Structure 1
Amino acid sequence: MTRVQKTVFILVAVVALVLGLTVHRVLTSQGQADPTKLLDAGIVLLPQSRTLPPLTMLDQNGEKVAVDQLKDKWSLMFFGYTFCPDICPTTLAQMRELKGLLPPEARDNLRFVFVSVDPNRDTPQQIKQYLGYFDPGFLGITSDLPTLQKLANAVSIPFIPADTSKENYTVDHSGNLVVLGPDGTQRGFIRSPLNNQKLKEQLPGLVVPKS
């Protein structure tokens, strides 16, 4: 390696170190003291936030909900369906548990959202009854299949539409949660399966407003 190459290598290393420290300071200023611990808890933040498409859906009370207007607090969004035999009841039970484990200030600034990807069977009434088994305070929303696919694609949570002609059909979907910020944009994901013991330690630093 020549002297010039060595000098360039050292400069690149210094710039990388400075950038790394800058990112760490930014995350720390946002209450995320240790990015490594966030990842260890399954929280994956996007390098750039994503704007949700302007889609209107129905909630469990039959009221219209604009998904790009889920603002003013953080949201954890889970895609599933009420006839799901395994992933959905397990994840919703974990979400209920996580809500109870969080300190009041974090819990009050967090919205839990269930998006049904089975509009053929999941009417608003069905969703309301189903969420009642877990937490009536959860927001449940659904829409027609094209709208659901647009939302799922926008937040990178894939699901495979079912063959509704089959009896007792199932819907293949992800178990990850979408993290939405108080500005209504997607900030990241929480990987499945949820580790509530780690999430209860890391989520407050992300979702509690800094004074």
Structure 2
Amino acid sequence: MTRTQTTVFVLVAVIALVLGLTVNKVLSSKGQTDPTKLLDAGIVLLPQGRDVPDLELIDQNAKPFQTEQLKDKWSLLFFGYTFCPDICPATLAELRELKKMLPEEAIANLRVVLVSVDPNRDTPEQLKKYLGYFDPSFMGLTGEEKTIEKLANGVSIPFIPADTSKPNYTVDHSGNLVIIGPDGRQRGFIRSPLNIQKLAAELPTLLTQKD
């Protein structure tokens, strides 16, 4: 290698190093996390945000709730129901514990929402009472079954409507959580079963992002 080639090689290496440090600094300043760690925590982010269907539901206070109100904060949507024998109470208990492990800034920017897949039994009153056992700040949503199906399908968390004529029926549904960004668009999923230790380590950076 000639002296000129050596000089060029060194310059290219230095430029690459500087660019690498600059990119790393920019990413760090934006608070971006390691994608590998996110996946290890069960967090799957979409390449691009996805619009959430514009629908009207009813919250646990019996007030109308438009899905466009899922803005200004990060939201975790869990599609379940209050008569669920296992996965729902376990998931809500885990979300309660996860919330305790998060810093105040992240908690202030987080909304946990139980979307009922059993509107036949889950009245606003029932949702409010049930969520009070876990965390009164958790939001509950119910409404017409067709509306809930549209929302569930729109965020790729479909469920199988139950035969409500059977006594003590159960509803087949997913344990995954839907991540909605402050812009009201779906940003990804959190896979079930939840690992709250790893989520507590990775979620704060995401939850403190403004968009």
Report the TM-score when normalising by structure 2: 0.86
Specify the alignment match of 2:63 in structure 1.
63
Note closer, same or farther for the CA distance 1:45–1:27 as it changes in structure 2 (3 Å cut).
Answer: farther
Specify the alignment match of 1:204 in structure 2.
204
1:131/1:138 contact within 8 Å kept: yes
Note closer, same or farther for the CA distance 1:166–1:52 as it changes in structure 2 (3 Å cut).
Answer: same
Residues 30-179 of structure 1: matches in 2 within 5 Å? 30-179=30-179
Give the aligned residue type for 1:201.
Answer: A
1:128/1:140 contact within 8 Å kept: yes
> 2: CA distance between counterparts of 1:160 and 1:117?
9
Note closer, same or farther for the CA distance 1:118–1:205 as it changes in structure 2 (3 Å cut).
Answer: same
> 2: CA distance between counterparts of 1:56 and 1:38?
32
> 1: CA distance between counterparts of 2:52 and 2:196?
27
Deviating beyond 2 angstroms after TM superposition, the runs of 4 or more aligned structure 1 residues are 23-30
Identity %: 71
Give the 3-state SS of the residue equivalent to 1:126 in structure 2: helix
Specify the alignment match of 2:193 in structure 1.
193
Question: Which runs of 5 or more structure 2 residues have no equivalent in the other structure?
Answer: 1-22
Which of structures 1 and 2 has the bigger CA Rg? 2
Question: Which runs of 5 or more structure 1 residues have no equivalent in the other structure?
Answer: 1-22
Note closer, same or farther for the CA distance 1:157–1:30 as it changes in structure 2 (3 Å cut).
Answer: farther
Report the TM-score when normalising by structure 1: 0.86
1:28/1:34 contact within 8 Å kept: no
| 1:25 Cα deviation from its structure 2 partner | 8.4
Give the aligned residue type for 1:155.
Answer: V
How many matched pairs? 190
- The CA RMSD over aligned residues, in Å, is 2.0
Give the 3-state SS of the residue equivalent to 2:149 in structure 1: helix
